[in-house]
Amino acid sequence: MLELKQLYQGFREPETIARLAEQIKQQAELVKQRDPAEKINIMEVCGGHTHTIMKYGLNQLLPDNIEFIHGPGCPVCIMPKERIDHAITLASQPDIILVTLGDMIRVPGSKGSLAQCRANGHDVRPIYDPLDTLQIAKDNPDKKVVFFAIGFETSTPMTVVLLEQAEKLAITNLYFHINHVLVPPAISAVMADPAVRVNAFIGPSHVSVIQGSEIYRFAVDNYNTPVVVSGFEPVDVMESILRITTQRAKGEAELDNQYTRAVTPEGNTKAQELVNTYLCVREDFRWRGLGPIPESALRLRDEYQHRDAEIKFADILQHEPIEDHKACQCGDILRGLCKPKDCKVFARGCTPDSPMGSCMVSSEGACNAYYRYSGVTENA
């Protein structure tokens, strides 16, 4: 039987990473010879890639005409304060149990965080598996249980499976506050910014496991940028950078799939059908840092309104936009306009133990990655 480490060991091999770094330098030199001023600015859309780059020091292996620009691909980071306030408002009701995933409970809204709400005696339960919510609802028939659902295309099927089970088992006290967002509209929003410097993308492979690699075709066609769908191990990322740099050296822009061991052009069509059965596209959704983006998130279909927490509890939820703290630059970081260390409160007023912004709270946040892997100390 294979051990877990056997599945990733070869993808962390220093000799392989060094060879890829050398090949990247050769291709980057061709770009420089053609135009000494040309930069290859690669946005890694997903925070998982950011953490791989920082944890393994991949950014230090690259020539100076390649730069990483961190993108908005973290569902916790992009959640606007008014949506977090929804969760806190719901959790503050005496007859509601609020259930959500991992890091979400630590992100501050305008009324504090869900963790503070729980410390004040309200029933907030972090989980790792959405299906755990089913048992919570069964065990508490006298309570209303709200699942505060977050995530990109990757985690949406898990929410839908929970909803499907609730319907099949006729569990009537389970509601959903849907915050599932979509990667392609966010890429369009990033590229629509006149200040953007991105001219290549590393596409999140876990999104494409569900939706297929072809969902990024529009970025190649509309913006003439290479897109390489990449795995998350260091060798995956380095190979993807080599493929991007090779394209740039040839003056090409193509959609490429590095993660062929799990990603196909069409994706998991059964999962897509299941999601489409219960959810549909929202008219718009406000992203932290990016503002309202048309058709960038999902909601429950009308036939499942009886489980929609935004409808069930509409009389206590406010929808006015709430801006971030003026000192926090998470918005600019999520738009790729600055790096974590450019923020005045990074590692000073804002640390993983005492986060001010969502990019420091989330385990996939860019600020969190810089803090953990850049040798930053308090009051740096």
237-290 pLDDT per residue, tens: 999 999 999 999 999 999 999 999 999 999 999 999 999 999 999 999 999 888
Query: Do the domain assignments include residue 183?
Result: yes
Query: Do the domain assignments include residue 226?
Result: yes
What is the residue type of 81? K
Q: CA dist 16 to 206, 234, 331, 365, Å?
A: 23, 10, 36, 27
Domain of residue 197, CATH code? 3.40.50.11740
pLDDT band at 145 (very low <50, low <70, confident <90, very high): very high
Query: Do the domain assignments include residue 27?
Result: no
SS3 121: coil
* Residues 131 and 174 reside in one and the same domain: yes
Query: Do the domain assignments include residue 13?
Result: no
pLDDT for 1 equals 66
Query: Do the domain assignments include residue 20?
Result: no
Query: Do the domain assignments include residue 28?
Result: no
User: Do 226 and 252 touch, CB atoms closer than 8 A?
Assistant: yes
Query: Do the domain assignments include residue 4?
Result: no
- Checking if the pLDDT of 8 tops 80, the result is no
* Residues 225 and 346 reside in one and the same domain: no
* Residues 112 and 188 reside in one and the same domain: yes
Q: Residue 195 burial by CB count (10 A; 0-12/13-18/19+): exposed, middle or buried? A: exposed
Distance CA 177, CA 167 (A): 16
* Residues 262 and 367 reside in one and the same domain: no
pLDDT for 279 equals 98
- The total number of structural domains in the chain stands at 2
Q: Residue 312 burial by CB count (10 A; 0-12/13-18/19+): exposed, middle or buried? A: middle
* Residues 282 and 347 reside in one and the same domain: no
* Residues 297 and 247 reside in one and the same domain: yes
* Residues 98 and 185 reside in one and the same domain: yes
pLDDT tens for 92-136 read 999 999 999 878 898 889 989 999 999 999 999 999 999 999 999
**Residue 105: which domain range?**
35-327
pLDDT tens for 187-211 read 999 999 998 899 999 999 999 999 9
Write down how long the chain is: 380
* Residues 237 and 341 reside in one and the same domain: no
pLDDT tens for 42-96 read 999 998 999 999 999 999 999 999 999 998 888 888 999 999 999 999 999 999 9
* Residues 246 and 363 reside in one and the same domain: no
User: What does the block give as tokens for 94?
Assistant: 């005496």
Q: What is the pTM of this model?
A: 0.91
